[in-house]
Amino acid sequence: MEIIREASELLIKIKENRPLIHHITNYVTINDCANVVLAVGGSPIMANDPAEVSEVVAMAKALVLNIGTPNNNNFQSMLLAGKKAKEMSIPIVFDPVGAGATSFRKEMCSRLLEDVRPDVIKGNISEIMYLANVDGCYYGVDSLQDIDNAAGIVQQLAKNLNCIVAATGRRDFVSDGSTSYVINNGHDMLSKVTGTGCMTSSLIGAFCSVTTDYLKGAVAGIMTMGISGQLANACLLSDEGIGMFKVRLFDNIYNLNKETFIREGAVYAG
């Protein structure tokens, strides 16, 4: 598909421009998110205090917000940083980790959707379902449910919020409300390592920082994680597991090039 070739060109642009990607994120996967931005060719910065986030956003080319370990301090930082990012017209990627799981996360989601208005929302199916107000049984932060109507929910939510919405799972659904894609890259091992979802949001931030077409940026970020996960799994030996898989995942993201992107990409009209 044309979008695969276009997405592969964004990869080159990241490596040329080395965009600074500002994260306000959780304490669990913060190191992995910084390394994944470096692996794809960007430059990460992870400041999370209200005292300085606006100034940090002012230097950045994209902002990634992740509520994996929420507290009032990083909530305030997200509101301040989001406001500044809007003023600067840099893309804001929102990862609603555990959306709906607690009152506090519900409140954060509402406020961030309303006040910050992210350009891209990337969650797993159950998080996106919560945002879409669809009934669903919340289970953990790694839950993946194959919902029959996932594509429709994603498209409708994108339309309602006037932004890009991506729901990841066995298949990934991405939509801007009118154009939609299904991505068939990825491997089940990605769900056995913490942070692959958070890292995908970081990758989306990196890709969106070098294009104004955030739909394409979201597709490219998800493809990068999916393709690298497949390749990482393919080179695992039989006595290896999630330790070596994670090492190979970073290796493959680091070595990803245009040709691999085009050869392995599995993106379809949604």
Amino acid residing at 105: R
Q: Is 124 in the site for its own copies (CB under 8 A)?
A: no
Q: Which long-range contacts (C-beta less than 8 Å, at least 24 apart) are formed by 232-236?
A: 232/187, 232/189, 233/187, 233/189, 236/189
Position 251 contacts its own copies (CB under 8 A): yes
Cα 26 to Cα 70: distance, rounded to the nearest angstrom = 7
Shortest spacing between CB 10 and its own copies, in angstroms: 19
Does 70 contact its own copies by CB under 8 A? Answer: yes
The reply to whether 255 sits near its own copies by the rule CB under 8 A is yes
Hey, which residues between 85 and 104 contact its own copies (CB under 8 A)?
98, 101-104
Q: Among residues 56, 62, 78, 92, which is the contact residue for its own copies, using CB under 8 A?
A: 56
Residue 264 makes contact with its own copies by CB under 8 A = no
29 is a site residue for its own copies (CB under 8 A) = yes
Rule CB under 8 A: is residue 234 a binding residue for its own copies? no
Binding site for its own copies (CB under 8 A): 18, 20, 26-32, 34-35, 38-39, 43-49, 51-52, 55-56, 59, 68-73, 98, 101-105, 138-142, 192-195, 235, 239-244, 246-255
